[in-house]
Structure 1
């Protein structure tokens, strides 16, 4: 039996960086309610869906009252009466309301919040958890990659690499994986404290130390794994988000006072892969350097992940996989603008035989959609940031609840290990 959408509302709420974002709320004829909050990225791909912000006035122009108005004036009339369970039809209407692929008219943040809210309302209407509504069968929990240190755009570019993540490759359950990484996070904190290294907190909750050299940071993370009682590589590996677009230019890649051409930069990353237990590297080359991405696939002993390079676009995923430029696709709903478009990118990755990594953003909230999307889409990996801060732990805790609901599930097999 269909359940029609009867109300589409939106409001301005707050994210983890103290900036406003948009929450959408869907109500149905049968009384079901779904809410979705749009996240925001610090390091963003040039081709991803753009946010609609007010541009002037309060909050340095970062307000989203204009996006809220788009929901009430344009989206609500267009969606009212549609079957909440028909996600594809709802998202197609959102596409029609803004023919710009980057959503410049009504905003990618607007469509993301509404699309997520519809997904939650549909699951509530069916009496399901969202992950169940997305999957015919759930057999495992995605294996987490968890930030230990932040750099790049997440930490004022003190160190060039954006994320140094622990990847618990030996853990058998999500509970054990979180415990293993928490022990490592605490051990790294002990090392930094013992060395007298000043530190803050990065956007995604990881340590933000006064460390400027990538090799130094990797040495500290590896030492932390050992101090916590684990074997680097065998128990806990390292995953990196290079976010190379942030320090790329027409002249090459400028890191730590050195200017590398593409081949030199990939060779430098190769030396790091040889020296440390690195299993995956995200965006090792810039979003405009497909040759660099292909070279990374050929030369690095780690899975090459496309993020800004792909922007959760199914056609880009398929083409990059066919051209040997990626070994995994990062999926972010707000890059695509709707749940359906993100799901299409997952389908493209699966068809190409590459891994799927579902990720949150640096500007997050208590919204736990990513935990359900990653599980329901049978992702290999899930990334939501560190093991600290409420907007991060909300998502890890939701994975624990999902695991419990199914009576205990294994973790996905590690990628690159």
Structure 2
């Protein structure tokens, strides 16, 4: 499931997406519970907020409020220990080696983030075989541009619409067809064995008739 953000709902301000309610939750509820805690104890800080919220999807305080405070606490913990943030995160995660994560590149968009008929939200490529971040970036970029060429060949230039998250958004509805487009683009890069496909289905946005899942 996806966590719930708390928004103001006033259509006259930020089209209803204002966050003054979430900020109020931070200033009036979360702060009272956390002031005085050791900022290096990240898991305890996060658990206090989860216990305070008491909902499965963080809908009381808002995931946007909880995440913002969690990140702030993490940065404060690093400052308290006088170490770089990445080192602090590695320490509290139990990691012994500090490595950059494999970046994920959204190459094809659908669902709520695009104006096409594709139900799933994102198809991404993961350059798991890259030996450096630079090489990973190259693979992601090349896949995106090859995909744009593939889509143009099949559907014309009007097929290269772009979704909210930057992925290409051809007017298709078949998930199989979407995956085949990405597979063809990967094939053209020559990095077939180094790239994997990932999917963000975002099933919480699916509808059956007029009813959401």
Fold equivalence (TM over 0.5) = yes
CA distance in 1, matches of 2:125, 2:79: 34
Q: Equivalent of 1:83, from 18, 26, 38?
A: 38
- The structure richer in strand per residue is 1
Equivalent residue for 2:26? 71
CA distance in 2, matches of 1:241, 1:227: 23
Does the 8 Å contact 2:116/2:169 carry over to 1? Answer: no
Does the 8 Å contact 1:150/1:204 carry over to 2? Answer: yes
Shift of 1:248: 6.0
Does the 8 Å contact 2:87/2:98 carry over to 1? Answer: no
Pair 1:205-2:159 in alignment = no
Q: Equivalent of 1:235, from 194, 197, 208?
A: 194
Aligned to 1:200, the other structure's residue is in SS state coil
> Cα deviations across residues 256-279 of structure 1 (Å, max 9, x unaligned)?
xxxxxxxxxxxxxxxxxxxxxxxx
Shift of 1:245: 4.9
Pair 1:167-2:121 in alignment = no
CA distance in 2, matches of 1:249, 1:89: 40
Equivalent residue for 1:149? 108
Q: 1:49 to 1:181 in 2, by over 3 A?
A: closer
Does the 8 Å contact 1:197/1:209 carry over to 2? Answer: no
Alignment map for 1:133-144 (pairs within 5 Å): 133-136=88-91, 137-144=96-103
- The structure richer in helix per residue is 2
CA distance in 2, matches of 1:101, 1:128: 34
Equivalent residue for 1:351? none
Does the 8 Å contact 1:52/1:64 carry over to 2? Answer: yes
Structure 1 alignment gaps of length 5 or more: 1-44, 251-286, 288-417
CA distance in 1, matches of 2:26, 2:205: 33
Q: 1:200 to 1:157 in 2, by over 3 A?
A: closer
Q: 1:87 to 1:237 in 2, by over 3 A?
A: closer
Does the 8 Å contact 1:75/1:94 carry over to 2? Answer: yes
Root-mean-square deviation over aligned CA pairs: 2.7
Aligned to 2:104, the other structure's residue is in SS state strand
Equivalent residue for 1:181? 140
CA distance in 1, matches of 2:102, 2:147: 21
Q: 1:124 to 1:163 in 2, by over 3 A?
A: same
Pair 1:192-2:147 in alignment = no
Does the 8 Å contact 2:106/2:165 carry over to 1? Answer: yes
Pair 1:226-2:187 in alignment = yes
Q: 1:80 to 1:188 in 2, by over 3 A?
A: same
> Cα deviations across residues 381-409 of structure 1 (Å, max 9, x unaligned)?
xxxxxxxxxxxxxxxxxxxxxxxxxxxxx
> Under a length normalisation based on structure 2, what TM-score does the superposition of the two structures give?
0.80
Aligned residues: 204
CA distance in 1, matches of 2:177, 2:39: 51
Equivalent residue for 1:104? 59
CA distance in 2, matches of 1:214, 1:49: 25
Equivalent residue for 1:50? 4
Q: Equivalent of 1:62, from 17, 20, 38?
A: 17
Structure 2 alignment gaps of length 5 or more: none
CA distance in 1, matches of 2:176, 2:36: 57
